[in-house]
A = this chain, B = another copy of it.
Amino acid sequence: MKHVALAEAWTGVADCRHCTIRNAVLFAGLKEADFDQLHRPIDQLVYAPGTEIYSAGGPAHTLYTVRSGLVKLTQYLPDGTQRIVRLLRKTDLFGLEALIDDSYPHTATALHATELCRLPVDVVRALSHGNSGLYHELMARWHKALSSADRWITEFSTGAARERVVRFLIWLAEPEEGARCELFSREDLGALLGLTTETASRTMAELKRQGFIREPKPNQIVCDLPRLRQLVEP
């Protein structure tokens, strides 16, 4: 069990017009005139690893865009079981449920140091009113979330432990330049794949011994992607 570090820091007001990842974010298609409607500022924040961003059942007034870092969404069952249902990284939008419901279905927690932009739901609503471009962009975001959830089911919740771990490592290394990627605790890895911490650890250890991955420092994984792919493709 972990005890939660809790550090979030406001790092300024976003300048959405000149955002470095603007072409990939929700407001990509906005026109100059639209930005003038942004009377309320868009805050940027940094979260330390382990920080809770929002809590399942808590009031939902905000959407978030990931500028950098990694965020997990965790869902709980009545009996206390918990399962990580999604991971969000650069350019991902989460908390979309705030558009429909008034509480979040998941708990969102930073896994790495994470920069987020905070989009108040009424700002998004105001901007989207009569703006079918933004509506379409929002739907594309729902679509992305749903594809991701489906992938979670087929890739990370099906088959043997080893396959799941391998598919996940491929997912994690995918967007990185080299095959080097930053992992997180074995406990979270287990919660992600529906395995116990021990099984997650054992499987990682075995992949290391067999040379499919290296771990130069803790939670810094270097993957031999070609060989990993061979393990899960026929």
Contact = CB atoms under 8 A, between A and B. Distances in A.
Interface of A: 75-81, 83, 85, 96-97, 99-101, 105-106, 128-130, 132, 135, 138-140, 142-143, 145-147, 149-150, 152-155, 157-159, 194, 232-234
B105 A158 contact: no
Contact of A149 (B77, B101, B129, B150): B150
A106 B154 CA distance: 11
Nearest to A83: B154
B146 A142 contact: yes
Given A75-B150, A83-B154, 15 more contacts: A77-B154, A77-B155, A77-B158, A78-B232, A78-B233, A79-B233, A85-B153, A85-B154, A101-B143, A105-B147, A139-B142, A146-B149, A149-B149, A152-B153, A157-B158
Contacts of A142: 139, 142-143, 146
A170 to B, nearest CB: 11
Copy number in the complex reads 2
A189 B83 CA distance: 22
Contacts of A79: 232-234
A34 B138 CA distance: 23
Given A78-B233, A158-B81, A153 B149 contact: yes
A-B residue pairs, 6 tightest by C-beta: A142-B142, A149-B149, A157-B157, A100-B143, A79-B234, A83-B154
A153 B75 contact: yes
B143 A75 contact: no
Contacts of A149: 146, 149-150, 152-153
B157 A153 contact: yes
Given A143-B96, A150-B106, A194 B132 contact: no
Nearest to A152: B153
Contacts of A99: 139, 143
Nearest to A82: B154
B135 A105 contact: no
Given A129-B132, A139-B138, A143-B97, A81 B150 contact: no
A139 to B, nearest CB: 6
A79 B158 CA distance: 12
Point out which of A129, A158, A234 has the most chain B C-beta atoms below 10 A from its C-beta: A158
